[in-house]
Amino acid sequence: MTKFVYNFHEGDKEMKDLLGGKGANLAEMTKLGLPVPPGFTITTDACRVYLKQGEVPAELETQVTQALRDVEDDLGRQLGDSEDPLLVSVRSGAKFSMPGMMETVLNIGLNDASVEGLAKVSGDERFAWDSYRRLIQMFGKTVLDIDGDLFSDALDDLKKERGVSGDVELTAQDLKGLVETFKKIVEDAIGSSFPQDPREQMDMAVEAVFRSWNTERAHIYRRRERIPHDLGTAVNICTMVFGNMGDTSGTGVCFTRDPSSGDSGVYGDYLMNAQGEDVVAGIRNTLPLSALKDANRPVYDELRGIMRKLETHYKDLCDIEFTIERGKLWMLQTRVGKRTAGAAFRVASQLIDEKLITPDEALERVSGAQLTQLMFPQFNAGSPRTLLTRAMAASPGAAVGQIAFDNASAIAMAQAGTPCILVRRETNPEDLAGMVAAEGVLTARGGKTSHAAVVARGMGKTCVCGAEALEIDLATRTLKVGEKVFSEGDVISIDGTTGEVFEGKVDVVDSAVTTYLSHGLEAGLEAAGEDEDMKDLVTSVDRMLTHADKVRTLRVRTNADTPEDTERALGYGAEGIGLCRTEHMFLGERRALIERVILAEDNSAERDEAMKALIPLQKGDFKQMLRLMDGKPMTVRLIDPPLHEFLPDLTELEVKVAVAEATGKTENLEADKKMLTAVRKMHEANPMLGLRGVRLGLALPGLFALQISALVEAAAELKLEGIDPRPEIMVPLVGSIRELQIIREEAEKIIADVCESNGVELDIPIGCMVELPRAALTAEDLAHEADFFSFGTNDLTQTTWGFSRDDVEGSFFGLYTEEGVFGVSPFETIDTHGVGRLVKLGVEKGRSTKPGMKMGVCGEHGGDPDSVHFFHQTGLTYVSCSPFRVPVARLEAGRAAVMDKRS
């Protein structure tokens, strides 16, 4: 028979899967000999059975009876006894803390008879009736699903009638009358009386806690925190101890360190003559924990001793709930406390100094997500603001500036020293200059993997995407949100952490942590100024990152397309470039040349002329970046995007030609018609699966050759200058070994010719991207021709799922998350069960042909904390991510190594 119930003395803190966090920690405190009221825990297994079958398993009832009798025998009292009643609380307790998401019921066991016994035993009639009215109120709202306002309104009416402001001012007689009022509310709402059988109360409360696992608020919280929906909750049944038994009783919450800053000291709140929900709900103003020292020094000293003992035992900041019953201290709960990102790093560093934990353990106490929070500027919490709309938080941070609707406006504002926000329906590669100039980017369309989001994250720019409430009118240069209309030059503020858009200016606070990460410890400390807490934080972050770099085996490169990106990434600690996208080098003024290459006839003089003009331009780009990367690898991806990104939009061109013909405007008409014919010829219904990558290189002879020539010549010239260039050539969208063979033969000939003509030796690896399922499935073949693999997980996700990432996130991803198809977008965190299997397979098959083969990843997943752990476990050599995410990847790679060693 499955064991569904554990007494507190039977468990420990390692049993969170079964007993939930609260139950496991109550068991641990019992094991430590701390004053914990007797009780037992119903397991998460029981909850899962209930949720599946819709009813409590029969064996649970008998096991609860046995556990309850053990508690009754231990205390010499029985549940709901009319003379000396045992009362219990029924509380939820999932594996992961979900504060306020599920249910609690106190004072189970009180009824019309036992309330009299409680009054007699306690010698306090008012306390007994106050406890009874609390039970009916909580039970009615939580278990019977009665509108809680009915109870609170009745309580407020009574206080008004008696001319008092606080609950504690009501007399025993007042509370007796209130109990009758509450019982009438219950009867009117459900058509039957408030249950008088104590065991029935307890069983109903247990079921209510089980049901609360599937409330809407619990679902929303789990989705946000990425907690699986199938875990279920445990239920803790604990003997009631009372903080509302007069002035020698009380209740409170405390922390072993400040959860906001990490400072050591006495932190917490308490209330005398109150129960726990009074503190949490803010019904009365609390007192600081330090005031307990004057009110009851022995209890204060005992509590401080227990706080120290728990922090030493858990080796971490602890969050503790306690009750004092007539001068006797009881511990009701402890857990590793939630804390701010800054406190996490400071506490981890402090615990190393106190020799409570090792540097390896400290790494496990911080996370890349917390580091990300510290890197971005933030809005001042106290600054007034007016919310306009809320959309998708695409790239964290806070940005304030004047509205700019295009590149020219953004650049002009930036040159004038005026901060601006680039506001677009959506962005495309041509908007890069405006994005660079702007403080942040706001788009009406797109998701977290849209162009705006990806590029903004890469540049460390704040970005909010998919703000559908925006109505952008480029003709009038206005932005309408609801009834409000803004013109270009009006100021707005955007929060890329929350997705909020505000009217006007909201004050921004800079981050000294970012200064440290990009310019070093000395600069970070200088940026912190006189703020000693910030200096301590910068030093703590440095300590964690330094240790992460020491222990990690996964190298961290960056995705960089420009010298500016490269310098930024090197400042953040990148060890190479894992993805240099060459298509950005063909935009702007050079776009006309690449158009000529694409549209010219094969083997024509026009194409040759355009290619010759591009070689020196691209060589100059490569030289700048290789010079900066002196001694570090730089992986250059040959041109990858589909043709439509380099050609005029078909619809716009058709309209332009039609209007010109209709109005008789013949200037440039023939050229436009010729372009239209060519664009129609090359138009594709699904360009992302069409003529792109290696296919484009094969279909347009000489296109890859010009890029390879430019790269190799740049490397040769730099080598002659005494620089150590380390370029790597990467062929995109390979699905067949023959595709790679053709390009490799061409590349090797170019490398040999350039080396001979310059009198240098260059070792330039030639590899391929693995971004098609077929490439992963046939990796043992590709490894014969590839010197390295780089998994392009963005496209691999797209081709494995059959998703068009430009379309799906804004259309049905919300539904898929809501329905549990996936917990998080597979474009944000790698789908380990599907796409991840292909990555593992590609690594295994590739290294079966070429042991020790270098393998990396260059999709957005390279900077995602959860994905970095997967790539470490899979045995990749490196991850490559946008410059701003390099520190996050470094930290998570260190954490992955530590966790791997521990397991």
Return the active site residues: 451, 858
- Structure tokens belonging to residue 3: 């064991």
Cα angle for residues 528, 531, 532 (degrees, 5° grid): 105
- Position 524: which residue type? G
CA atoms of 348 and 359, how far apart (whole Å): 8
Helix, strand, or coil here: 730?
strand
Query: How far is the C-alpha of 436 from the C-alpha of 678, rounded, in Å?
Result: 33
Asked if residue 117 lies in contact with residue 130, where contact means CB atoms within 8 angstroms, the answer is no
Neighbours of 7 (CB within 10 A): 17
Tokens of 291: 């005031």
The sign one gets for the Cα dihedral 200, 201, 204, 210 is negative
Q: Which residues, listed in sequence order, are joined to residue 770 by a DSSP beta bridge? A: 791
337 half-sphere exposure, CB direction, 13 A CA radius: 29
Helix (H, G, I), strand (E, B) or coil at 610: helix
Query: At 794, which amino acid appears?
Result: N
Q: How many CB atoms lie within 10 A of CB 763?
A: 10
Separation between Cα atoms, residue 6 and residue 236, nearest integer Å: 10
d(CA 102, CA 361): 31
For 459-581, where are the E strands, in sequence order?
462-465, 470-473, 478-481, 484-487, 491-495, 500-503, 508-509, 555-559, 577-581
Quickly tell me which residue has 């494995």 as its tokens.
800
- In sequence order, what are the residues at sequence separation of 6 or more whose Cβ sits closer than 8 angstroms to the Cβ of residue 157? none
Question: What residue type is assigned to position 711 of the chain?
Answer: L
One-letter-per-residue 3-state SS of 738-803 = HHHHHHHHHHHHHHHHHHHHHCCCCCCCEEEEECCHHHHHCHHHHCCCCCEEEECHHHHHHHHHCC
Q: Which amino acid is at 515?
A: T
Which three-class secondary structure state does DSSP give residue 354? coil
Please state the length of the chain: 903
Give CA 407 to chain center in angstroms.
31
Task: Describe the crossing of helices 793-801 and 835-849 by its angle, rounded to 10 degrees.
Answer: 120
Measure the CA–CA gap between 722 and 386, rounded to whole angstroms.
Answer: 57
Phi, psi of 859 (to 5 degrees): -85, 180
d(CA 876, CA 891): 16
Strands (E), 196-350: 233-239, 250-257, 264-272, 287-288, 318-325, 328-336
